[in-house]
Chain A
Amino acid sequence: MSATSATAHAHTAHAAHHEVGFVRTYIFSTDHKMIARQFLFLGLFMMIIGGLLALMVRWQLAWPETPVPGLGWVLTETGGILEPSQYNMAFTMHATIMIFFVIMPILAGAFGNFCIPLMIGARDMAFPFLNMLSFWVAALSGVLMLAGFFVPGGHAAAGWTSYAPLSSVPEYTGTNWGQNLWCISLFVLGVSSMMGAINYITTIINMRAPGMRLFRMPLVVWSLFITAILLLLALPVLTSGVAMLLFDRTLGTNWFKPSGGGEPLLWQHLFWYFGHPEVYILILPAMGIASEILPVFARKPIFGYHAMAFSMIAIAFLSWVVYGHHMFVSGMNPALGMSFMVTTMIIAVPSAIKTFNWLGTLWGGRIQFTVPMLNALAFVWMFVIGGLSGIFMASTPVDIYIQDTYFIVAHIHYVVFGGSIFGAFAAIYYWFPKMFGRLMNTALGHLHFWPTFVFFNLTFFPMHIIGVGGQMRRIYNPLQYEFLQHQQHWNVLITISAIGLGIAQIPFVINFFWSLFAGPKAPLNPWNSNTLEWTAPSPPPHLNWGPTVPTVYRGPYEYTSPESREDFLPQSQPPLVRAGTSRH
């Protein structure tokens, strides 16, 4: 790694650099901020694909077997009507892309890379080269995943959970290389995640600035630290699982085939042993982001800093022992179901603690409704709904009925869209000035937030209702069932709202790219925040700070502190030595 203090301005992408070449600055960069931007662009690009897939699924559910507008170009033989196998492919890939290639790259990849060194006062990650590799391996994984759309037989169509033996025997779905590529791609992504996780953990443990004690770290760093530990421990389980699945499909092993002595439930145990920590990997960074943004715009210290940190640690530990709640009616021993119900009820407590502490942070504040704040507040509110709907499934008898219905779909979307995606938007609006050195447009931000918030609720709240009515997930045509006929109007409403939700993202795209090239230059600390990243230039140069890294004197949330005349007190500002005070 070359130790030059070259400033890499993202918005002058055409200016060839005189010290480090273009390729080393913008493509194979080892600088954590450039890698963060690369992860962000990967995630945003994939979000478009994942969103369009979701709209295809929704169109089919509202107006079954009518041509999807614009799809006639692609599906020439049916004129744009989704066949059942293509429909299965669409929802499988929607979930796979949104989880593995949107939320993980944006929250863990982009903001993990951007925030950790800048907020703990490190000049870069512990292993910059490994960091670069982790992005390019993730990009390779994305290419492999997208390649699956172009192979004969189509892409994976066994759901994002890929339950064996449906996924392990090619004849059952008619998909051959699509599912193989799905396995290979996730295997490669697992390798990438491990590199990133090792890097994050090492950096946080070893590279904090002087005075940056663990309990002076911003909560977003805490959340990313815990997420990295979960990634390190959970991803290998998925990685070995998809390897076993691939061997079953290609080499004739029998891990999951009962005819060869295998066990279908083994896949579910492996998958959910990864999968439940995974959903906390998706939500924890967003919790950290909300905990970061709420104090800034309430101009008030976070309520219960230690409770917030410890509740995240508790969630991380408990996430390993709740995974079986995905399998209450899977044929797993019902006595096990009972113990998983107990642990699942317990894990709701730390989430409740966090919610009440966010409310406590708002209480008595001086709340400024900026665009990042609006998104963070939406996160809190939507996470409450997502968390409360989870309690229905935690109760095993209720889950018998609720399992595999749209109630689950509503729950997961309230948590990972209402939670993680609003968290991601909040983070983009909040750190954009620091990341790219330019301010985003507030009016366009409101134009993006309000329709998104309204259409999000109109899209996903009615899913609770049709789920309670009994509509199963992953069905192609609800009109094939008599007991679902009477609620089809909800499906139509949901689809219209989903289209609105898609359209509502256009202002964001315009705002993002317009501000990237033509936004007003950002000041050093546009939000009057306390944390260290706002002491670096916008955007920070290579190695982030000048000759010395800042020294930390206090916690990250000293807003409206009596020690300061301002309503904020940066972590790196030396304490005032008052005249006449003597130390005893």
Chain B
Amino acid sequence: MLNWWLPENVSTYGQEIDWLFHLIYYITGGVFLLVTVALLSFLVIYRDRPGRRARYTHGNTPLEIVWTVVPALILVVLTFLSVPAWSRIKMTMPQTDFVVQVTGKQFNWQVTYPGPDGRFGTADDKTFLDEMHVPVGKPIRVNLRSQDVIHSFFVPQFRFKQDAVPGREIPQWFEVTKPGQYEVPCAELCGFGHSGMRAWVYAHTAEDYTRWAAENLRAGAAPAAPEAKKEPEKPVAKTGGRAKK
């Protein structure tokens, strides 16, 4: 029912997040319906009528125990179900040779590839502005950094979110399952250009990615030009670039 509202998921662990989301949605929805039905029926049944006298009772210990223990058990189960996904997403890093560095700054995402030597901070690094190209079906390691304030790298369709904190490098990962282009908004308030700070992730098939890398990441390639961005036309929005420095 509510998955109609979730954006399409195109990452491997996104399914686990969506599954948990729906599980909680049905549990809380069920509890809400029960409480609402009880509340409304009590209001109707026990409304003030002539001749009614309220029941004199101070409570019921077995009942108190039941409605303490049952929610506690449900929540314990939810916790145990959440732990494996959390540790897989945030606490472990799958083996991968694909590493990019993403640096947030007011108000762009700079995406750096290590170049042929596979090391960052060398002369053959290639940096792109607000665009990232990745192959599908392969774990992508992203080292998140920030130059100024806290930003948050948010890819709704990957169910990926991580704050980029100045002064530290935060390794994260995702794996895309479907080629396409996906929006990367910034999810943490970062100043007056926070809204509109956005990159695109282009997920290619393996052979398309190899072609792209050969053209753009080899040693002699011209530095990536920001105007080469294939940003689609904005249908309605009148702004977008206004707050860019």
Contact = CB atoms under 8 A, between A and B. Distances in A.
Contacts of B35: 355, 359, 381, 384
Interface string B163-206: 11111101000000000000101111111111110100000000
Interface string B35-59: 1101100110011110011111111
Nearest to B22: A398
B21 to A, nearest CB: 5
Interface residues of A toward B: which range? Answer: 35 or more
Given A165-B148, A475-B195, A480-B239, A398 B161 contact: no
B195 A84 contact: yes
Contacts of B25: 392
7 tightest A-B contacts by CB? A258-B167, A364-B55, A476-B195, A304-B59, A470-B156, A334-B90, A475-B195
B170 A468 contact: no
Interface in A68-107: 83-85, 88
B75 A360 contact: no
A359 B165 contact: no
30 contacts: A64-B237, A163-B189, A165-B149, A264-B166, A300-B56, A303-B59, A330-B163, A331-B168, A334-B90, A341-B82, A352-B68, A353-B68, A359-B35, A362-B42, A368-B48, A381-B39, A392-B21, A392-B24, A396-B90, A397-B16, A397-B86, A400-B161, A404-B154, A465-B2, A470-B156, A472-B154, A473-B187, A479-B234, A480-B234, A567-B53
Contact of A476 (B72, B168, B196): B196
Given A470-B156, A476-B195, A166 B150 contact: yes
B162 interface: yes
B170 to A, nearest CB: 5
Contacts of A400: 17, 89-90, 159-161
Contacts of A369: 43, 47-48
B47 A367 contact: yes
A304 B74 CA distance: 22
Given A345-B75, A480-B198, A398 B21 contact: yes
Given A264-B167, A567-B53, A367 B48 contact: yes
Interface string A303-338: 111110000000000000000000001110011011
A147 B232 CA distance: 44
Contact of B196 (A335, A345, A480): A480
B79 A341 contact: yes
Interface string A348-390: 1100110111011011111111000000010011001100110
Interface residues of B, number: 95
B20 A482 contact: no
A329 B86 CA distance: 11
B150 A165 contact: yes
Contact of B42 (A263, A304, A363, A470): A363
Contact of A366 (B6, B52, B168, B236): B52
B222 interface: no
A334 B58 contact: no
A338 B24 CA distance: 17
B214 interface: no
Contact of B86 (A299, A334, A359, A487): A334
A401 interface: yes
A477 B195 contact: yes
Interface of A: 64-65, 83-85, 88, 157-159, 163, 165-166, 169, 172-174, 258-259, 262-265, 298-307, 329-331, 334-335, 337-338, 341-342, 345-346, 348-349, 352-353, 355-357, 359-360, 362-369, 377, 380-381, 384-385, 388-389, 391-392, 394-398, 400-401, 403-405, 465, 468-470, 472-477, 479-483, 485, 487, 557, 559-562, 567
Nearest to A356: B67
A304 B160 CA distance: 44
Q: Interface centre among B21, B156, B192, by most A CB within 10 Å?
A: B192
B78 A391 contact: yes
Contacts of A482: 183, 232, 234
A152 to B, nearest CB: 16
Interface in B102-142: 106
B195 A163 contact: no
Contacts of A385: 32
A159 B194 CA distance: 12
